Structure formats: structure tokens, C-alpha cells
Amino acid sequence: MPDGRTVAADDAIALEIVRNYLMRTCEEMKAVVVRAAYSTVIHEVLDYCCGIYLPDGGAAAEQSGIPIFLGNVGSVIQAANATIGLDALEPGDVIIANDPYSGGSHMCDTTTLLPIFDRGEPFGFVGFRAHLLDYGGKAPGGLFSDTTEVFQEGLVIPPVKLYRAGEPNPDVFRLLEANTRFPRENTGDMRALVSASRVGHERVQELIARYGPGRLRGMFDELMDRGERASRAAVEQIPDGTYTASCTHDGTGSDDAPLDGPYRIAVTITVDGSDMAVDLTGTSEQLVGPANCPLGASISGIRAAFKYIVAPEYPTNEGCFRPLRVHVPEGTLLNPRKPAPTSMYFTPVSSVIELFQRALAPAIPDRTIAGTFGDICVAVYFGKHPDSQQPFLCSEPEGGGYGASPQGDGESCLVAPLNGDTKNVPIEVAEVKYGVICERYELVPDSGGPGKFRGGLGSVREFAVRADAEVGVSFLFDRQLEPAWGLEGGRSGGLNQAWIDRGTPAARRIGKITDHTLEGGATFAGIAGGGGGWGDPFERDPELVQRDVRDGFVTFEAAARDYGVVLDRDTFDIDQDATAALRSDRGSK
């Protein structure tokens, strides 16, 4: 427990007001960036995180559009302190960094830091992290499956000053603009990050003026203590014990030239009272290809996985994670050594969230689910709009099925757990902006893992290249080999898939591909798989199976094969005798 430091009685009220003010400040900062942003990855995918931090990087308040970014800014602050140093900062400075090995994740993820001073003394930082479009590298968009060094992935920016004492540092701006294919978009988004950070800075100054720096700092400490208490109370609800889980990813490289074969992510969680220790020993050695996740980002992933289970509603600050101890062996793909490439860092780290669910499901079945489709399933397409000749780039995740639980079926077509309030680009917007034609965007029948409770359905989205156009595509779909797992007798969901010219004689199933050119008339399709089922599908209420068939979520064949339910093809009526026969036949085996 904390050292018993408490705030005075009337501070209990001020504390709530300050907490709400900090959360609102994060909201306000987010609104500026999301609404002014150029990059779809910011304004639709919400690939951002922002917060108010102590000088050492601890978050007093933090908010992210996607869960995976939690705590990532703090590692960049630590890196900046180690290189630039607090003493070398002055009011109005803005630090920028994207170096995966200075607390970052992959090259596009850009952090800006704005130091806060009180009468010359460092008080903390306003931090913002967001995914910018492009820093050069071998193909547009910074998403590659086949790099072998971080240097191939774009311009590495260690913490440097983008602004000095409020004035732009033109040398750095010129350097950055010379190293991107989308200078207008990148610079516009950087401006948005700085504007938002200045808003955050103003708000913290208002708080300092109102409460004084000492009292405010005391309240930050108290908020963290309360965050710790909330987490500890929640960890105590989990039965003591050691829980393990693992899963396998497909590999890296491209279909023609693979770099790595299947690799493994392993998680061991030990719960002891209100403490939780997480050990990723058993995870594969670092890879040749880019599915490596730098340590800072791995810790963020572990924090996200923890927060899904431990007091998820409680506002995030550094204290929430004090009960968590983490061990990630150096040299594994979740703690790689420079210059291992990291473009696909999100693929392995997303599994950490999933494996927390898988490991803890037996202990806390009412708070966990069976496997999801397991990868963000990102496709990138880029080119020139055939009408305006404007260059464009779209990188978007697909929505797949979530796992079932003892409380019900899984949800269909949602972004992966490492994403959050991430919206798709509307078809009508995509067609205007990128000059492509969408052929279909639908749920995939039978993709939900059968179970007493069924997994959610995946989706298929297929685009055609206009006859007068040419489009480059990169597909980074993983988990095409290991499907979403079921629990307690529930079965697997349908697999993730990527296709070129699906359903034609030239059809080609894609594992991974980077910067592949498609001519006019070609199609490309992403299929996100379904979620895993929960419990024996032969125990599913036949009327639920009937409803699924009527709704088109399960086919007649699958109803009989996977659920042992026989339906009349015209009336959808349940054939009771045939169903009883099928179900008892299986039961007697």
C-alpha cells in the first residue's frame, strides 16, 4: 500500500475537480488533432495518445484513441531526458521523436513533447503521440513486411528540438520535409500536434495558477495512489496462481521471399494477492523481418492487456500500473536489439492482449472472451487519383469477429482489440478520395467459431482498380495460419485471408506483400476472420441455430455439420428427429 500520504479533507473535492479537468484537457487536445488532422490514421483510426506527464515520464493523466498506446509517451520522455536532458530545455521548446529505440514503436508513430515549467523549474511535459503518414523508407506509408533493418523503414528521428523557445527550428523542418513523400500532410499533422500540446500546456498553467505547483503536484501523487488502489482491488479479485498461454504468428517477408517462418508469443502471468507479474519468456528470438516490437511498445501492450482486465473504467495514470511487474527477455522479438526492423510491431504485441484473455479465462470466465481474429489485418493502398492525379495513401485495419463467452455470442466485424474507436473509411468517401471501386463489404457466413455461444463473424471488403488507374498495395495480414481459438469445447473461427483477383482464374491468395502494383481492372480483397466459440456447439439451443441460419450468419450445411441441427430449406423449421439423431450420434462417439 502507499505510504499513507493523504490530501487534506477539502482537497478531496479539489482532487475530483482536478482529475476531471485533466481528463477534459486530454479530450480537448484530442479534438484539436483529430479534427485538424490530414492522416486517415489519425482522424479515423485514432492512432494517437496524449497526456500530462511528470518530469520522469510518469503519466498524471493519459488518454489514448487505441488501447495499445498506453504509457508509450513516458518511454520517449525517458529517452529525451537521457539525451537532451531536462537542464537543456527551456519554455516553448517542442521535442519530436520517432526512433523505435528511443521509446517509440514503428517509424510513423511520432511523439511531440512540450516541457512545462513553473518559475524556471521543470514541472512536467505535455505529450502527444500519433501516427503520421510517411517518413520515407522503401514504400509509401511506413508499413512493410520485408525490411531487415530499421534504417530501411524511414528516417530515424531521435529526440530533437522541433521548436526552440517557441520558434520553429527550420533546419529540422527542412530535414523532415525532405524525407517524406507527403510533406504537406506530415507537416500539417505535426502542426496539429503542436497546437494541441500548447492547449494542454495552457490548461496545466491554469491549474498551477489556481492551486500552486506544490499542491498540484501533491494532487497528482494522490491521483496515482488512488489509481494504484483501484488496480490492486481489481487484481485481488483474480484467484492467486500462475497462468500461461501462447500463440503462433505466420512470419515475415513476402510471399516470394520469406524472411521468417512462424514465431511464438508466450505469456506467463502470476497473480499473488494484489500483485501481478508478467513474464514473456518463451517468446521467439528477434526476427530478421519487421515483426519486432521495441521494449517500450511491448510494455505499453502489456499495460493495455492489463487494463482490459483490471479496472478498465478507471481513468489511466501511472499509479494504475504499480501492481504490475514485467519481464521481457532481451533479444526476443518483444525486446529486440537495434537495428532490428519494427514496422509490423503491432502484429506480435496485439497477441499480448489476446493471451491475457486466453490465460486468465479459466480463472475469470465472466470477464474474458474466446479468441478474436487476432491481427489488425492492415492493408495499404496508394497511387494517384485517376481524375485529379493527386497522390493518395490509405492504410486501414479490417474488422473481424470477437470471441464468445459463457454470457453470449461474440460481436461481429469490430476492429482488433489493440484498436479502439477506430472507424472505417466510408465506401463513398474512399471512392471519391482514392478513385477505387468497392465491389463488396459484407459479413462472412460460417466464419464465427461454432460453440454453445458462437464467435462473431468476420468481414470481406473488396476493391477494384479503375480501368484508367494503377494502384500499389501492401498486405500485412497475419494469423492466416492459426485461427481464433475457442474455449471450453468451442471451436475456431474462420481464418484471416488476403486475395488478389479473388474468384477469377487469376486468383492469388496473399500471405504478405509490400508495394505490389495492380493494373486497371484488378481486385484486392481483405478478409478478417471470425471469433472463437465458447462451449460445445452441439449444446447450442437449436432455436439460436435456426435464427442464425435465417439471418444468413450460418449456412444449412454448417448448421448440420457444426451444430447437429437440421432445418427445412424452405421453411427454416427445425427437423426435430433428424436433429436429435445427429446430436445423439455425435454424443455416442
Partner 1 sequence: MQELNASTVRVATDVGGTFTDSAVLDEHGHVSFEKAPSTPADYSQGIVDCLGRHDFTAEEISSMVHGSTVVINAVIQRKGAKTAFLTTDGFRDLLLIQRHNRPQIRNIRYRKPVPLVERALQLSVVERMTCDGTVLRDLDEDGVRAVGATLRDAGVEAVAVCFLHAYANPAHEERARELLREEHPQLEVVLSSEVMREYREFERASSTVVNAFTRPVVSRYLDSLERALELRGAQGELYVMNSSGGVMSPDQARWNPLQMMESGPAGGIMGAVELGRLIGIDDLVAFDMGGTTVKASLVRGGEPAVLREYEVPGHHPLMMSVLDIVELGAGGGSIAWVADDGTLKVGPRSAGSHPGPVCYQWGGREPTLTDANVVLGRFNPANFWGGELQLDVEAAEAAIKSHIGDPLGLDVTAAAAGISEIAIASIRTAVRIVSVERGHDTSDFTLVAYGGSGPMFASRIARELGLRGVVIPFAAANFSAWGMLTADLRYDRSQTLVRPTDQVDAGQLVKQFELLERELDALLEHDGVPPEARSFARQLSMRYAGQEHTLEVPVADEPERGALDEVVARFHELHEIAFKQSVPGEATEITRVGVTAIGAMAKPQVRPLELTSGTAADALVGNREVLLEREFELLPVYDRSRLAVGAVVEGPAVVEEPTCTTLLQAEDHAVADRYGNLLIADADVLPALADRANATEAAHA
The residues in 195-224 that bind partner 1, with binding defined as CB under 8 A, are 195, 198-199
Rounded to a whole number of angstroms, the minimum distance from the CB of residue 24 to partner 1 is 6
Site map 518..557 versus partner 1, x via CB under 8 A: --------------------------------xxx-----
Q: Does 422 bind partner 1 (CB under 8 A)?
A: yes
Out of 438, 508, 515, 583, the only residue in the binding site for partner 1 (CB under 8 A) is 438
Rounded to a whole number of angstroms, the minimum distance from the CB of residue 35 to partner 1 is 5
Residue closer to partner 1, measured from CB, 36 or 578:
36
Strands 508-510 and 109-118: unpaired
Rounded to a whole number of angstroms, the minimum distance from the CB of residue 437 to partner 1 is 7
Q: Which residues contact 450 (CB under 8 A, 6 or more apart)?
A: 486, 490, 491, 533, 537, 540, 558, 562, 563
| 483 φ, ψ (degrees, to nearest 5) | -80, 175
Residue closer to partner 1, measured from CB, 37 or 302:
37
Distance CA 328, CA 75 (A): 15
Q: Half-sphere exposure of residue 82, counting CA atoms within 13 Å on the CB side? A: 11
Out of 201, 229, 249, 502, the only residue in the binding site for partner 1 (CB under 8 A) is 229
Q: Does 496 bind partner 1 (CB under 8 A)?
A: no
Residue closer to partner 1, measured from CB, 71 or 511:
71
Helices (H) and strands (E) in the chain, counts: 12, 22
Residues in 240-299 at the binding interface with partner 1, rule: CB under 8 A: none
Residues in 458-487 at the binding interface with partner 1, rule: CB under 8 A: 459
Residue closer to partner 1, measured from CB, 199 or 277:
199
Residue closer to partner 1, measured from CB, 299 or 443:
443
Q: Does 20 bind partner 1 (CB under 8 A)?
A: yes
- Do the beta carbons of residue 78 and residue 101 sit within 8 Å? no
Distance CA 415, CA 553 (A): 19
Instruction: State how far Cα 531 lies from the chain centre.
Output: 17
Rounded to a whole number of angstroms, the minimum distance from the CB of residue 484 to partner 1 is 13
Rounded alpha-carbon distances, angstroms, from residue 505 to 480, 500, 508, 526: 22, 11, 9, 18
Residues in 288-317 at the binding interface with partner 1, rule: CB under 8 A: 307-308, 312-314
| 440 φ, ψ (degrees, to nearest 5) | -160, 155
Rounded to a whole number of angstroms, the minimum distance from the CB of residue 112 to partner 1 is 14
- Whose grid coordinates read 479533507? 9
Residues in 344-363 at the binding interface with partner 1, rule: CB under 8 A: 357
Residue closer to partner 1, measured from CB, 420 or 489:
420
What is the number of other CB atoms lying within 10 angstroms of the CB of residue 457?
Answer: 33
Distance CA 61, CA 203 (A): 13
Q: Does 185 bind partner 1 (CB under 8 A)?
A: yes
Residue closer to partner 1, measured from CB, 195 or 246:
195
Q: Does 319 bind partner 1 (CB under 8 A)?
A: no
Residues in the chain: 589
Rounded alpha-carbon distances, angstroms, from residue 172 to 107, 154, 280, 396: 17, 16, 38, 29
Rounded to a whole number of angstroms, the minimum distance from the CB of residue 506 to partner 1 is 20
Residues in 361-420 at the binding interface with partner 1, rule: CB under 8 A: 368-369, 388, 390, 398-399, 402, 405, 407, 411-415, 417, 419-420
Rounded to a whole number of angstroms, the minimum distance from the CB of residue 31 to partner 1 is 7
Which stretch in 33-41, 134-142, 153-161, 267-275 sits in contact with partner 1 by CB under 8 A?
Answer: 33-41
In a 3-state reduction of DSSP, which class is residue 561?
Answer: helix
Out of 138, 164, 181, 191, the only residue in the binding site for partner 1 (CB under 8 A) is 191
Task: Bin 479: left if φ > 0, else alpha if -120 < ψ < 50, else beta.
Answer: left
Residues in contact with partner 1, total (CB under 8 A)? 84
Q: Does 60 bind partner 1 (CB under 8 A)?
A: no
Site map 130..169 versus partner 1, x via CB under 8 A: ----------------------------------------
Rounded to a whole number of angstroms, the minimum distance from the CB of residue 576 to partner 1 is 22
Distance CA 200, CA 11 (A): 23
Enter the C-alpha cell of residue 111: 511523439
Rounded to a whole number of angstroms, the minimum distance from the CB of residue 147 to partner 1 is 26
Rounded to a whole number of angstroms, the minimum distance from the CB of residue 172 to partner 1 is 18
Q: Which of 587, 382, 373, 355 is nearest to 473 (CA)?
A: 382
| 437 φ, ψ (degrees, to nearest 5) | -120, 125
The DSSP secondary structure of 132-170, one letter per residue, reads: -S---SSSTTS--SS--SGGGGS----SEEEEETTEE-H
Q: Does 337 bind partner 1 (CB under 8 A)?
A: no
